[in-house]
Amino acid sequence: MYRPVLAALLPLLAAGAAMSADAPDYSPLQLYEGAWKVVMPTPVGLPLSVGMVNSCGRVGVNFACQQALAGVPGAMTIFLPTAVRGKWRTQIVSGDGLVDGAPGELTIDGPVWTFLSQERTATGVSWTRNVNQFAGADRIHFEVAKSSDGKTWILDVAGDELRVPGP
């Protein structure tokens, strides 16, 4: 009775062992964990500062971060590993549990992390690129730009995220 079950499970166990040998490096993604202060200019030129808390961790073979802005839980980003080291598929789930937009991708190249996504609109395709430039583990400069062709980018918003020291 147990032999057929064991025979059926062995290939799955072997695949799991092979996957763990080539497991993705989740440590860069863990940098998002914790409390941050987000500072960015407003249309009238005054800086806006808001508190943000990222709760991050492994979920199976994936990784997820849920953000809370000013104490209000918001969207969760799910990072799915790809076969290419430093590249991740991403999917955002809104605070009310709905998938927010098409899947995107994240490329981690040292301190420069580039999120790229596209969305079909009534007039074609709209691209969004979010570049995070890390300056150590406690500061991120971000720039979000939009494009209609994936080549020419118009800056939408930029700012800085500064880690808030823990108690």
Region 6-23: mean pLDDT is 41
- Which 3 state secondary structure label does DSSP give 109? strand
Task: Tell me the C-alpha distance between 99 and 85, whole Å.
Answer: 25
Region 92-113: mean pLDDT is 92
pLDDT at residue 167 in the model? 56
Q: Name the percent of the chain lying above pLDDT 90.
A: 67
Task: Tell me the C-alpha distance between 82 and 70, whole Å.
Answer: 33
C-alpha 151, offset from chain centre: 22
pLDDT at residue 111 above 50? yes
Task: Tell me the C-alpha distance between 26 and 24, whole Å.
Answer: 6
Class of domain 25-163: mainly beta
pLDDT at residue 5 in the model? 33
Q: Name the percent of the chain lying above pLDDT 70.
A: 86
Mean pLDDT for the chain overall: 85
Give the pLDDT confidence of 54-75 residue by residue, as tens digits. Answer: 999 999 999 999 999 999 999 9
Domain boundaries, the chain: 25-163
pLDDT at residue 145 above 50? yes
Give the pLDDT confidence of 34-44 residue by residue, as tens digits. Answer: 999 999 988 77
